[in-house]
């Protein structure tokens, strides 16, 4: 096993919020997503509440391991429903014996919990086939951390409605609970302050899994609030212990977090949460020059397993995506779904922005009857799109054009998106011609909400195809 001697934050760059980490045998597992097929969970109705950045979709997965099986639980949130409507929250558990296999994670087992950020905990003497669930009741309705014991196979509660076990330290929005047991004590770790600049982690302990819990006098045990720190909004932590006895935490954070943070909430690590620790010696990160389409194969076919680093929206229509001799072929949605739509599955493939300064470059051919391009996408309300037709390129912000059209020749067109500290700059060129500036967008306009920026090609409207011949992503040394 590799001993943790040094790490560099963020340990997972690009938006990867609400991290959860465990050690099993010789391997650390830090979870993000186990959903690979619609039968596990439908994302069709996942969106944001218009004008609010109140984000739906899957929140806060927790990973745990018990008696040879890996478990992940999470909450699917439907933000269009009222805050007090318990059907706003769909809590689910998935399991597998092999976390590496693409389709090995089970279909989900749902369980009732009137809130979010649910977590799993096994005690030493609880009945077989059961698990304790901790979760957060929604702060707009009733703040607090609650717990229930459920049947793992059916999701049925064995202890009645969830019981409140801690209200936190008095800071707003207690959430993100995780339970641990050490030396006969039950430790409850939560987040408070909301996932913004006052975010923090606090802890309490009890001799009973049901409480009462006494707060740590050193709370908050993790916070960047009111500090001149590069990483802000630190919180929503999970802790784990190395075989050497050292304690570490993973948590979310944003870089600076005040105005420009298009990468959203990233995953950081911290030492000495419960004692112990090592010194970190940081080396510069290497430059990245990534051929995003590498390994896409030959022949025209639909790709069964998408690379984990490439994301699509909601439940993608597989008929709109094909791989042909190492190139990506995109077909507009037959339902007319577009990037600016609150629902549906527009044809779009995105790679996370993982550095403040980076360059994405594409060689594309837009068919005669198609419209496509490249999007810097945060959500359906906030995205910059370089829109290509057969003869023009233009920059769109939401539904509005924000720059004059630039003429392009028919055939292959190159698109370049340069991310800077406070802006995204868009260029095009035809053939071997000169690069032409199309426009720019402010990074602050895609710096909000629960996710972060994706950069990638899209196809919408028309009946033709959009072909992506090359796609590179470059980061300088840092």
pLDDT single digits (tens) 245-256: 889 999 999 987
Q: Which residues are known to be catalytic?
A: 18, 175
Both 235 and 340 in a single domain?
no
Q: Do 303 and 393 sit in the same domain of this protein?
A: yes
List CB contacts of 170: < 8 A, sequence separation 6 or more.
Answer: none
Question: Is pLDDT of 157 > 70?
Answer: yes
Question: Which residue among 243, 271, 299 closes a domain?
Answer: 271
Asked if the model's pLDDT at residue 279 lies above 50, the reply is no
Nearest to 234 by CA among 205, 208, 273, 287: 273
Q: Which uninterrupted H or E stretch holds 474? A: strand 466-475
Asked if the structure places residue 15 within a domain, the reply is no
Residues 297 and 383 in one domain: yes
> What's residue 146's pLDDT?
98
> pLDDT tens, 362-371?
999 998 888 9
Query: Is 232 part of a structural domain of the chain?
Result: yes
Within-domain flag for 452:
yes
DSSP label at residue 12: B
User: Which residues have a Cβ under 8 Å from the Cβ of 64 and sit 6 or more positions away?
Assistant: 22, 70, 71, 72, 119, 120, 121, 122
Domain assignment of residue 2, yes or no:
no
Are 42 and 315 within 8 A, CB to CB?
yes
Kindly state whether residues 244 and 329 are assigned to the same domain: no
Beta bridge partners of 175: 191
Give the model confidence (pLDDT) of 103-153 as tens digits.
Answer: 899 999 999 999 999 999 999 888 899 999 999 998 888 899 999 999 999
Q: Is residue 364 part of a domain?
A: yes
pTM of the model: 0.91
CATH code for the domain of 426: 2.60.120.200
264 and 306 inside one domain: no
Total residues belonging to the chain: 478
The CA-atom distances, in angstroms, between 140 and each of 50, 85, 217, 452 are 18, 12, 27, 24
DSSP-derived 3-state class of residue 443: helix
318-330 pLDDT tens trace: 999 998 888 999 9
Confidence band of 439 (pLDDT split at 50, 70, 90): very high
Q: What is the mean pLDDT of residues 406-421?
A: 92
In this structure, of 174-178, 179-183, 368-372, 456-460, the range with the lowest mean pLDDT score is: 368-372
CB count within 10 Å of CB 264 equals 24
Question: Which CATH number covers residue 191?
Answer: 2.115.10.20
Distance CA 458, CA 387 (A): 9
The Cβ of residue 233 has, within 10 Å, a number of other Cβ atoms equal to 29
Residues 18, 60 contacting (CB under 8 angstroms): yes
Taking the C-alpha atoms of residue 435 and residue 101, their distance in angstroms, rounded to an integer, is 43
| 250 and 316 belong to one structural domain | no
| Domain co-membership, 352 together with 461 | yes
Q: Is residue 124 in some structural domain? A: yes
Do residue 248 and residue 299 come from a single domain?
no
* Boundary of a domain, candidates 271, 300, 331: 271
pLDDT at residue 458 in the model: 97
Examine the domain organization and report whether 261 and 319 are in the same domain: no
Identify the domain containing residue 64 by its residue range. 20-271
Q: Are 338 and 421 members of one domain?
A: yes
CA distance 110 to 82: 20
Secondary structure element (H or E) that encloses residue 341, with its range: none
- In angstroms, how far is CA 335 from the centroid of its own chain? 27
Give yes or no for residue 400 having a pLDDT over 80. Answer: no
Same domain, 194 and 315: no
Low-confidence winner among 276-285, 337-346, 439-448, 469-478 (lowest mean pLDDT): 276-285
pLDDT tens digits, one per residue of 4-38:
656 788 999 999 999 999 999 989 999 878 988 88
Q: Is residue 411 part of a domain?
A: yes
Q: Tell me: the pLDDT tens digits for 230-269?
A: 888 999 999 998 888 889 999 999 987 567 889 999 999 9
Please indicate, yes or no, if residue 282 is contained in any of the structural domains: no
344 and 256 part of one domain: no
Q: Quick one: tokens of 68?
A: 């040879």
Tally of structural domains, the chain: 2
Last residue of a domain, one of 241, 271, 301: 271
- The mean pLDDT value of the chain amounts to 89
């Amino acid at each position: 096993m590799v001993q943790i001697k040094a790490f560099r934050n963020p340990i997972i760059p690009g938006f990867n919020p609400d991290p959860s980490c465990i050690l099993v045998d010789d391997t650390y597992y830090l979870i993000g997503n186990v959903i690979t097929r619609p039968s596990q969970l439908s994302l069709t109705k996942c969106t944001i509440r218009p004008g609010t950045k109140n984000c739906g979709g899957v929140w806060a997965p927790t990973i745990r391991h018990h008696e040879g099986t890996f478990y992940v639980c999470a909450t699917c949130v439907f933000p269009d429903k009222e805050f007090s409507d318990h059907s706003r929250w769909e809590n689910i558990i998935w399991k597998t014996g092999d976390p590496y296999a693409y389709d090995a994670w089970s279909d989900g087992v749902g369980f009732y919990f009137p809130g979010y950020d649910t977590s799993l905990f096994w005690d030493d003497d609880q009945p077989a086939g059961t698990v304790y669930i901790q979760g957060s009741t929604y702060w707009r309705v009733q703040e607090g951390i609650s717990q229930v014991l459920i049947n793992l196979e059916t999701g049925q509660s064995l202890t009645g409605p969830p019981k409140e076990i801690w209200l936190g330290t008095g800071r707003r929005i207690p959430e993100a609970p995780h339970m641990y047991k050490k030396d006969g004590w039950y430790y409850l770790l939560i987040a408070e302050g909301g996932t913004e600049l006052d975010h923090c982690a606090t802890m309490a302990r009890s001799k009973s899994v049901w409480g009462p819990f006494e707060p740590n006098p050193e709370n908050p045990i993790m916070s960047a609030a009111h500090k001149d720190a590069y990483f802000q909004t630190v919180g929503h932590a999970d802790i784990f212990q190395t075989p050497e006895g050292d304690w570490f935490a993973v948590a979310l954070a944003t870089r600076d977090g005040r105005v420009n943070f298009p990468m959203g909430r990233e995953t950081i690590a911290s030492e000495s949460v419960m004692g112990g620790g090592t010194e970190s010696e940081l080396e510069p990160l290497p430059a990245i020059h990534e051929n995003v389409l590498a390994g896409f194969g030959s022949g025209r076919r639909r790709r069964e397993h998408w690379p984990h680093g490439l994301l699509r929206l909601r439940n993608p229509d597989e008929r709109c995506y094909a791989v042909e001799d190492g190139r990506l072929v995109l077909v507009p949605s037959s339902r007319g779904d577009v990037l600016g739509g609150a629902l549906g599955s527009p044809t779009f493939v995105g790679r996370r922005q993982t550095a403040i300064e980076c360059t994405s470059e594409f060689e594309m051919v837009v068919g005669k009857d198609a419209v496509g391009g490249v999007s810097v996408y945060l959500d359906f309300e906030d995205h910059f799109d370089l829109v290509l037709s057969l003869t023009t390129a233009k920059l769109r912000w939401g539904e509005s054009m924000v720059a004059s059209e630039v003429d392009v020749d028919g055939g292959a067109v190159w698109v370049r998106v340069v991310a800077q500290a406070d802006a995204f700059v868009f260029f095009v060129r035809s053939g071997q011609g000169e690069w032409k500036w199309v426009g720019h967008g402010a990074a602050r306009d895609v710096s909000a909400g629960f996710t972060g920026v994706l950069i990638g090609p899209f196809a919408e409207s028309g009946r033709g195809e959009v072909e992506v011949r090359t796609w590179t992503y470059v980061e300088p040394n840092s």
